[in-house]
Amino acid sequence: MNDIGLVQTDIQNKTSKEVFLRLQEAIVEGTLEPGSRLPSERRLAEMLNISRTSVREGLRVLDAMGLIEARTGSGKRAGTFILERPGSALSDLLRLNVALMHFTLDEVANLRVSLEVAALGSASQQPNDKLIDELGSLVTKMEHETSRASFADLDAEFHLKLSQLSENRLTSYLINVCHGLILEQMRRGFNNVRDWTVTRKKFAREHCAILDAVKIGDIVAAISLIKAHLDDPYH
C-alpha cells in the first residue's frame, strides 16, 4: 500500500471509530435507547458531520460486535435497531483472545473464581425465594445425575444462577462468559476423574453446602465454601 493509501485508511479508521464512539455515547446518555431504530445513514452522516461511507463503516463495527441488527420489512419495523440484548460479541472476543493465547484458560479460570466470590460478596442477605428454589432443584438434579456431561451442564447452570444473587448483572454476565470458555475444559476434567461416583457426590454435597449457607444469609461461609469448591483440580 502506498503512503496515500495508508493516510486514507487512517482517516477511514478514525471516522468509523468516531461513529462508533458517538453512537455509544448516545446509547449511554439515553438519546438512543436499546430496542430503538437508528436514524438513516444519511441522517447519521448529517448528525455526525461525516461521510455516509464512514457511517456505514462504523455501523459495520457495531454490527460485528453484536450491538445492532439490520431488519428487513416495511414501515417502522424495517431499519437498523439497537439490540436490547447484545449478542455474544464479548464472549467471542474473549474466545478469540484465548485461542490466540493472549489469555490462557488458567487466567480465565482465576477470573471466574474472583467473579464468583465477588458475586457472593455482594449478594443480599435476604435472597430472592424464586432463585433459591431454582438453585435447590439444580442441587437435587445433580444429586441424581450420573452422566458426566449432563452433570457439567447442571454444575455450570448452578454457578451461573448463584451469580444472579449479586445485584450486579455485569458480574453475572462476565461469569457466564468465563463459563462458556472453560466448560469444555471442565467436561474434560470430569471425563478424567477415575472414581466418578465419589467425585460427583462430593461436588453435589459442596453445592448443597454453599446453598445452605446462602439460605441462612451466611455469606462469609458461602464464600469460603465456594473458594474450596472451585479449588478442586477437576472443577
Residues that bind Zn ion (CB under 5 A): 155
Residue (57 or 206) nearer to Zn ion, CB: 206
CA angle 187/189/193 to nearest 5° reads 115
Residue (76 or 144) nearer to Zn ion, CB: 144
In terms of Cα–Cα distance, which of 232, 230, 233 is closest to 114? Answer: 230
Work out how close the CB of 98 gets to Zn ion at its nearest, in angstroms, rounded to a whole number. 21
Q: How far apart are CA 170 and CA 192, in angstroms?
A: 33
Q: What's the residue count for the chain?
A: 235
Residue (177 or 210) nearer to Zn ion, CB: 210
Cβ count near 181 (within 10 Å): 20
16-46 burial code (b ≥16 CB/10 A, e <16): bebbbebbeebbeeeebeeeebbbebeebbe
Cβ count near 177 (within 10 Å): 20
Work out how close the CB of 155 gets to Zn ion at its nearest, in angstroms, rounded to a whole number. 4
Residue (50 or 174) nearer to Zn ion, CB: 174
CB 167 within 8 A of CB 124: yes
Work out how close the CB of 111 gets to Zn ion at its nearest, in angstroms, rounded to a whole number. 16
Work out how close the CB of 207 gets to Zn ion at its nearest, in angstroms, rounded to a whole number. 6
3-state SS assignment for residue 85: coil
Which H helix or E strand runs over 3?
helix 3-29
Measured from each CB, the residue nearest to Zn ion is 155
Task: Give me 76's grid cell.
Answer: 417502522
Residue (167 or 232) nearer to Zn ion, CB: 232
Residue (91 or 199) nearer to Zn ion, CB: 199
Work out how close the CB of 229 gets to Zn ion at its nearest, in angstroms, rounded to a whole number. 6
Which H helix or E strand runs over 139?
helix 129-144
Work out how close the CB of 226 gets to Zn ion at its nearest, in angstroms, rounded to a whole number. 8
Q: How far apart are CA 117 and CA 208, in angstroms?
A: 17
Q: Specify the amino acid at residue 203.
A: F
